[in-house]
């Protein structure tokens, strides 16, 4: 088996990008900014065929994506599909009820924040002006406002 000037076996039948049989005459000099003809971009081929690689997902986007995924649980003898976030909330409440001090502390901290967020998101219309400054309200007043709002919402649906 005889090797040609391209160091490719003679019985190799694949077409090469820079066809070795049609070598450029000796006037083409390979050097800085002048790659060999065989490795240059080929005519008729454009763009980045593989495309830009996907961005590696960061921790928070992975956490959100995984929290939104569903799983099947057994609740009161029936199978139910809920998100993993809902499962985490159910587990937190269950541990808080059964007496875990840390879970209880986390539960009340999260409950207070959720109540504040609910009040800000759906403020109760008030004509009296007695709740004009939300920051000065006590916990009981906030809970009363939220419960009154929920009752009004239920009445509106019926």
How buried is residue 6: exposed, middle or buried, by Cβ count under 10 Å (0-12/13-18/19+)?
A: middle
How many H helices and E strands in the chain? 4, 2
Calpha distance 75→81 (Å, rounded): 10
* Helix, strand or coil, per DSSP, at residue 74: strand
Calpha distance 104→131 (Å, rounded): 29
Kindly state the average pLDDT of the residues 145-158. Answer: 77
Lowest mean pLDDT among 55-59, 70-74, 131-135: 131-135
Using alpha carbons only, give the angle 24, 14, 3 rounded to the nearest 5 degrees. 65
Give the pLDDT score at 94.
Answer: 92
Calpha distance 8→75 (Å, rounded): 69
Calpha distance 99→102 (Å, rounded): 9
* Helix, strand or coil, per DSSP, at residue 34: strand
CA 131 vs. chain centroid, Å, equals 39
Give the pLDDT score at 11.
Answer: 58
* pTM for the structure as a whole: 0.44
In the DSSP assignment, the letter for residue 132 is S
pLDDT tens digit sequence for 46-68: 777 788 888 888 999 999 999 99
């Amino acid at each position: 088996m005889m090797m040609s000037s391209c160091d490719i076996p003679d019985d190799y039948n694949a077409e090469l990008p820079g066809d070795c049989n049609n070598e450029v005459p000796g006037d083409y000099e390979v050097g800085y900014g002048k790659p060999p003809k065989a490795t240059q971009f080929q005519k008729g081929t454009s763009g980045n065929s593989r495309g830009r690689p996907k961005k590696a997902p960061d921790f928070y986007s992975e956490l959100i994506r995984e929290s939104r995924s569903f799983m099947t649980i057994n609740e009161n003898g029936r199978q139910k599909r809920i998100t993993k976030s809902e499962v985490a909330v159910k587990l937190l409440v269950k541990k808080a009820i059964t007496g875990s001090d840390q879970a209880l502390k986390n539960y009340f901290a999260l409950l207070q924040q959720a109540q504040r967020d609910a009040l800000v998101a759906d403020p109760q219309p008030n004509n009296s002006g007695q709740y004009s400054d939300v920051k000065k309200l006590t916990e009981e007043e906030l809970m009363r406002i939220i419960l009154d709002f929920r009752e009004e919402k239920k009445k509106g649906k019926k």
